[in-house]
Amino acid sequence: MSTIDTNLEKLSKSVMDGDIDTVKFLVKESLKNGVNPLEIVDKGLAKGIRTVGERYGKGEIFLTELLMGAEAMKVGMEIISPEIKKQKKELKKVGSIIIGTVAGDIHDLGKNIVAALFSAHGFDVVDLGVDVPDQKFIDKVKEIKPNILGLSALMTSTIPKQRELINLLKSSGLRDKVKVMIGGAAVNEDYARDIGADGYAENANDAVVKAKTLVVSP
């Protein structure tokens, strides 16, 4: 294993451990060594937080450990975001996306990773944040006319909002004007198909790939 791969593996583990100081050091060290910022996110930060989320879902760790991992991930993303933005300046614009976590849900880690990668790949991103009211999504779609609307929901109690928003787009005469992507730990491909979404992705990288195909599709 190369030194770069070893450091990214250590970074992933540091996120899992909630070790903020080590995360800071390894992110800065990787950037100094010329590692692509997107690779640092994918193979280090995102890999670590995915594992934390999976372990929490299985009851293997407590909420405190999940929050520690989330904070470590957040600190790492704060360091790396400026580098991702620098990359975007060199890219041709691919499309535009509005993204947000639906009403009643305050989880933003997955959404933030996806938003950062979309930006890094040439998308103009409008992030509405968390616990976003239905009408705010609709108003922003009317205002910005994006290629894609991304709806995130982590909890089983909030995923029905994704269906409601798609129906609201229909009743507002906007459904055929924007592609809808959904994501979150509680959703899957079958659910996306059932509610009439245009796309679903299991992780941030897949979301970018799927979004690019949606932008060019009729």
Domains present along the chain, CATH in parentheses? 3-89 (1.10.1240.10), 95-216 (3.40.50.280)
Q: What confidence score (pLDDT) does residue 217 get? A: 75
Gap between the Cα atoms of 59 and 121, Å rounded: 35
Q: What phi-psi label fits residue 129: left (phi over 0), alpha (psi between -120 and 50 degrees) or beta?
A: left
128-145, pLDDT tens digit by residue?
999 999 999 999 999 999
Give the angle 199-204-206 at the CA atoms, nearest 5°: 55
pLDDT at residue 1 in the model = 64
- pLDDT tens digit string along 168-193? 999 999 999 999 999 987 899 999 99
Q: Take residue 13 and report the two structure tokens written for it.
A: 């583990």
Full strand arrangement of the beta sheet holding 179-183: 123-127, 95-101, 148-152, 179-183, 199-200
pLDDT single digits (tens) 22-75 = 999 999 999 999 999 988 988 899 888 878 877 877 889 888 898 898 889 889
Res. 150: pLDDT tops 90:
yes
CA–CA dist 159, 78 (Å, integer): 28
Q: The tokens 């879902």 sit on which residue?
A: 57
Degrees, nearest 5: CA angle 20-110-22: 15
